[in-house]
Amino acid sequence: MNIQEFAATLKLSVSTVSKALNGREDVSPATRKRVLEAAEQSGFSPDPSASRLRRQSSDTIAFVVSPPQTSFAQPFFLDMLMGVNDVIDHSCYQVIVASARSAEAELDLFKRLVERQRVDALLFGRTRRQDERIAYLLERDMPFAAFGRSETSNAFPYVDIDHCVVGRSGCGRFIALGHRRIALVHAPEYLMFSYLERRGYEEALRAAGIAFDRNLCIETAISEEGGADAARRLLTLPDPPTAILSGHDLIAMGVMRGITETGRVPGRDVGVIGGNNDPIGRYIQPALTTFSADTHRAGERMAEMLLERLAGTPPQQLQEIWEPELIVRASDGPYHVPSAGPVAGGATRRSRAARA
């Protein structure tokens, strides 16, 4: 039955029934109770699409899978989406998932979601140092929460895992293990987390009095192949690294493959540290030393922040930076003096005992 028929059974006007169902204060408590009890007994529910139309709301939140990693095969987005759903399931909103093929096309996706599909709010990750998505949403006064900070603005809700700590503590771990030729293989630095990682890495080198060597710092795609290619390049240098830090486990797994392809042993000849605790990392050989990254909880917290923002909480009260913890396994390893002689791929091991 529609609302007109329902109102007729109660001998009330449609407007009174509508106000009672929507909790309006200009309806007496007795009338509201009578309407709600009758609705429950009869199983009546107002048309949600009509309600949304009246409120100019879609009751929809978009979760955007951001480039350069758009595959749900990776735990990063899966875990985060599960966390988001755990919170949104208890709200009046539904979640839709959207993705763009490239970073360049993503702003158009945001515009379609806001201007055509008219979502009520957005969630996304992989923030950038100069982020046109953030600038656009702030200009449109569109509520959103992000996974990561940005130099674009500080006027939005975010959860961030501090990758400056990953760079600083990861490099510091290798220094404490006796390494002095420490490479950084990380995602493109237009991404905020990768830029912060580079800053932390350089801070650790300076603190130990080790000169920064640009040849040991390589930006690559967030992929296993990107890590493997970077490792091959590094290990053909005249003075190759004895340790490689990577802020992303997928890259780190590729680095380990590249090390093996040159005839070296990861964790013994070349130490490796990842950065975001991919579940696969504990099962590979040697098990990957990495940093904690609770993306499921991050998804929950982002969703909670977004709901608070929609309820009127100022964005500056909805900003959290979490410090990751080092998870020590087997891939980092102490400095190992290489034996002289050729290895696979034509590289030559040189003794570095003088620096030990």
Give me the number of domains the chain comprises.
3
Residue 51 counted as domain residue: no
Report the pLDDT value the prediction gives residue 47, as an integer from 0 to 100.
58
**What's 77's domain CATH number?**
3.40.50.2300
Residue 315 shares a structural domain with residue 335: no
Residue 113 shares a structural domain with residue 228: no
Residue 53 counted as domain residue: no
Domain that holds residue 156: 60-161+295-323
Comparing CA positions, the residue from 277, 294, 29, 273 lying closest to residue 147 is 294
Residue 136 counted as domain residue: yes
Residue 148 shares a structural domain with residue 206: no
**What's 11's domain CATH number?**
1.10.260.40
Residue 55 counted as domain residue: no
For residue 43, pLDDT beyond 90: no
Residue 156 shares a structural domain with residue 171: no
Residue 68 shares a structural domain with residue 211: no
Half-sphere exposure (Cβ direction) of 21: Cα atoms closer than 13 Å: 19
94-99 sheet: strands from edge to edge: 94-99, 60-65, 121-124, 144-147, 158-161, 319-322
Residue 123 shares a structural domain with residue 190: no
pLDDT (tens digit, 9 = 90+) per residue, 301-333?
999 999 999 999 999 999 999 999 999 999 999
For residue 348, pLDDT beyond 50: no
For residue 100, pLDDT beyond 70: yes
Q: Per-residue b/e over 42-67, b at no fewer than 16 CB within 10 Å? A: eebeeeeeeebeeeeebebbbbbbbb
Residue 81 shares a structural domain with residue 195: no
Contact 193, 148 (CB under 8 A): yes
Residue 231 counted as domain residue: yes
Residue 283 shares a structural domain with residue 316: no
Residue 106 counted as domain residue: yes
Residue 100 counted as domain residue: yes
Residue 54 counted as domain residue: no
Residue 122 shares a structural domain with residue 189: no
Residue 243 shares a structural domain with residue 276: yes
pLDDT (tens digit, 9 = 90+) per residue, 225-264?
999 999 999 999 999 999 999 989 999 999 999 999 999 9
Residue 114 shares a structural domain with residue 257: no
Residue 142 shares a structural domain with residue 192: no
CA angle 89, 160, 77 (to 5 degrees): 50
Q: How many residues does the chain have?
A: 356
